[in-house]
Amino acid sequence: MFGRSIRLFSLFGFDVKIDISWLILAFLITWSLAQGLFPHYFKDLTAATYWWMGVFGALGLFFSIVFHEISHSLVARRFGLPIKGITLFVFGGVAHMEQEPPSAKAEFLMAIAGPGSSVALGLLLFIIRTVGRIGAWPVPVSGVIGYLAIINWILAGFNLIPAFPLDGGRVLRSALWKWKGNIGWATRVSSRIGTSFGFVLIAMGVIQFFSGNLIGGIWWFMIGMFLQNAARMSYQQLMTRQALEGETVSDFMIRDPVTVAPELSVKDLVEEYIYRYHYKMFPVVAGQKLVGCINTRQIGKVPREQWLQKNVGDVATTCSNENTIDPNTDIIKVLSLMNRTGNSRLMVVEGDELLGLIALKDIMNFLSIKLDLDQLKS
């Protein structure tokens, strides 16, 4: 669902990040405001003024989305849900929850908090704009404030559309969940509505594009694609959580992993281990003690002509929370760690003792089989 993200700052204990796509799309927003919206509504200003209005309008939209998502996250914290952080997109933001809401009530309150905060912020900005007009503030200032008031109301209204994973779709999911008592069924229904709504937006974008509204068509098309992808991914994530619920590392780990000694040359490691076993990572064991691990990324940093002179111990990394895991850890947390670090194999340890290895492909194979069986049962 998400690409690469950049951490900006921390607010109320939540890391706020932006998806890398923001850097491209933020310019598109600024350009749209500076060359389209503001010149249309505020005549006879200089080109530089329009561009400054566009910049501050885009920044205001960004912070409006932050405010919207922080409201979700604060309510989630109240219900004991851990939030890893917030990632901002041009179309909105996502608060990264490590688990699903505990109840339909919690889901409803979390969902409604975002639009409610946007309505309140829009009202505050509208009051400030009114004060500015009475006080004869410069037109560019009151113009940007007025735009931000309206865009917050639009943000609230758009998010209340009952299409998952929009806030309105989450409100719908909470109602269906409360009705049937089945979060999986509620998510499937609301996700299908979200996917269908995405198709509608894509179709509108195509129509707008060929009708001559180039920018509007591109926006509708991109938002539709984003919603479609988000709806599918949200449902898949829920199914993954439910399928792996209760499973721990000890259920999946390889108990007799292939290990290497620190004095082994990098050349022998590649030729006798990597080419033979086709693993990307090997634990490094000295005697009976685990001292670290070595993977293909580290080997790639060693010039080939030095492979014979360099030993595994010279290149290996030490054990850390990035490459080791406790045998009793929940599998969902393992997947989260693998996703964050890019490691597809983790060492299972207890103290200094290597108990085994856990591999992403083994978890995925189990997940595929279990989902297939669940579909047959339904």
| Residue 333, amino acid | K
Residues 6+ apart with CB under 8 A from 365: none
Contact 75, 111 (CB under 8 A): no
> To which H or E segment does residue 282 belong?
strand 281-286
Peptide bond preceding 102 in cis form (omega within 30 of 0): no
Which whole-number Å values give the CA distances from 299 to 32, 57, 267, 290, 317, in the listed order? 47, 48, 10, 19, 11
Catalytic residue of the set 69, 263, 271, 272: 69
The question of whether 353 is a catalytic residue gets the answer: no
Identify which of 292, 220, 232 has the alpha carbon closest to the alpha carbon of residue 260. 292
HSE-up (13 A, CA, CB side) for residue 154? 9
**Rounded distance, CA 194 to CA 226, Å?**
10
Residues written for the chain: 378
Identify which of 175, 6, 182 has the alpha carbon closest to the alpha carbon of residue 167. 175
Q: In this structure, are strands 83-89 and 5-11 parallel, antiparallel, or unpaired?
A: unpaired
Q: How far apart are the first and last CA of the chain?
A: 27
Identify which of 281, 277, 358, 271 has the alpha carbon closest to the alpha carbon of residue 307. 271
**Rounded distance, CA 151 to CA 133, Å?**
19
184 CB-contact burial (10 Å; exposed 0-12 / middle 13-18 / buried 19+): middle
Catalytic residues: 69
